[in-house]
Structure 1
Amino acid sequence: MSRTTEGAKRTILAVFAHPDDESFICGGTLAKYASLGAEITLVSATRGEMGRRMGNPPYVNRETMPDIREKELRKACEELGIQELIFFDIRDKMVEFYDSERLIERIGELMEAKQPDVVLTFHETLGGHPDHCAIGKATSEAFRRAQQKGSLFYITFGDAMEAPELFGYTKQDVVRIDVRGHLKAKLAAFRAHRCQTEIDEWVWLPDREALAKLGGHEYFLAGNRSVEPLVFNDLFQARLDR
């Protein structure tokens, strides 16, 4: 799964559940690697049509939600530098009930086609939402079945990984990415998801104040751990075994 020849373009495959997962959780990291020339493909399993937020004041309804959230996600991808967006068109809040073998197969086909150096997804039990956990479980299994080398990482929610032992992990399992130079792109992506963020007053403060609300680091759990000491401040330098 990893193309390590000199001069090869570095690639990331991010497999998430909803529009906005990419921005709210790891937008700074995606923007950082995109700015460094990485080729990024984003999968959104759903179009987020069951989201509870409808804008503030509301301007979205159940009928218009899928199209609006798609447009907002495409705008967020532009802000972050994500080159390719793929929807699986699974019904929102139903990923856990989708045929698991078919889902693993679809993700595996993408891995074969894209040959990513890094795969990002949710942890299958720490994802915080049934859709997150289901897409993470399927992606992890697709990764395990793949034959090529590569690195699998689970995106995590902010400062939770400052104390990974609370979740059964150690500091050696955590990658800490410095995204302070890419917070403007992350904030722009937040704002692109307008119907989801208009209720959050801080997002729409003057730029300087809003940027101060964003953390300077994002955290990832290694999904395929190595027995070797790891370089854990760069997703592409972490030396992981299958």
Structure 2
Amino acid sequence: MTIQGNANTPRKLLAVFAHPDDETFICGGTFAKYAAEGVEMTLVSATRGEMGRRMGNPPYLNRETMAAAREQELREACACLGIGNLIFFDIRDKTVEFEDERSLEGRIEALIRDIAPDVVLTFHERYGGHPDHCAIGKATTAAFWRSARKGALYFITFGDAMERPERYGYKRKDVVKIDVQAYQSAKLAAFRAHRCQTEIDEWVWLADNEALSRFGRHEYFLKGDVQAAQRANTDLF
């Protein structure tokens, strides 16, 4: 089943992530693709990433200046990717797991009810790879079900790990594989916008054609409800 919008009801996507750069490093091509298709996108960043270990190369940030710098970098990355609405939850970096669960779920549920997204993206609560990722994923998943929305929930995944979903207890029919080849330039621009996090990665700053060659052609998403009616495995909508 594919959700079809019309001129009066644009498709909507809500992404609820933990840190600035999650949106770019993990699924920037997908955001750029849907922006080009006219999807209205809202991104929540639970934190401003002020506890990140990368402070520029050579370092020029500190704990006091990191939050403002990463907020500005995220705003620039959103512009590159076509994300029109950015919301910060103002949770301290590396403390999302210690937030009151019901309160955090309630904030996200309120957003879902207000925005009425066709698609919600977040982290998998077990495979998020970072405590903040897992915590925001768990809260968003609970909020999605509490909201009784009829849209679709997907978990973002890393690299091409979901080429073999069986290792994680899933089947191939549970994976959506998005071709983002045509949107890699926007993704690279967003990588470069996250300057303090990428300056140490020499490949990001090579000539465009060389840097672009480092990106995979596809980005992968896990269906949040594997019992739901079958959707196209090449599109989130």
Q: Which residue of 2 aligns with 1:66?
A: 67
Check the 8 A contact 1:172/1:230 in 2, yes or no: no
Give 5+ residue unaligned stretches, structure 2. Answer: none
Which amino acid in structure 1 is aligned with residue 22 of structure 2? Answer: D
Aligned to 2:149: 148
> Within the alignment, does 1:33 sit opposite 2:34 as a pair?
yes
**Residue 77 of structure 2 aligns with which residue?**
76
Query: CA separation in 1, counterparts of 2:208 and 2:122?
Result: 29
TM-score by length of 2: 0.97
2:10 aligned counterpart, secondary structure: coil
Letter in 2 for 1:166: R
Q: Given residue 178 of structure 1, which amino acid in structure 2 is its aligned partner?
A: D
1:180 aligned to 2:181?
yes
Name the residue aligned to 1:99. Answer: 100
SS at match of 2:215: coil
CA–CA separation in structure 1 for the residues paired with 2:155 and 2:115: 19
Q: How far has the Cα of 1:24 moved from its partner?
A: 0.2
Looking at structure 1, the residues matched to 32 and 51 of structure 2 have their Cα atoms a distance apart, in angstroms, of 27
Task: Please report the RMSD computed on the Cα atoms of aligned residues, expressed in angstroms.
Answer: 1.3
Per-residue deviation, residues 55-84 of structure 1 (Å, max 9, x unmatched) = 001111111000000000000000000000
Tell me, which stretches of 5 or more residues in structure 1 are unaligned?
237-242
Q: Alignment partner of 1:202: what SS?
A: helix
What's 1:170 paired with?
A: 171
Please name the residue that 1:231 is paired with: 232
Contact kept, 8 Å, 2:5 with 2:11, in 1: the verdict is: no
Number of matched residues? Answer: 235
Partner of 1:137: 138
The secondary structure found in structure 2 opposite 1:74 is helix
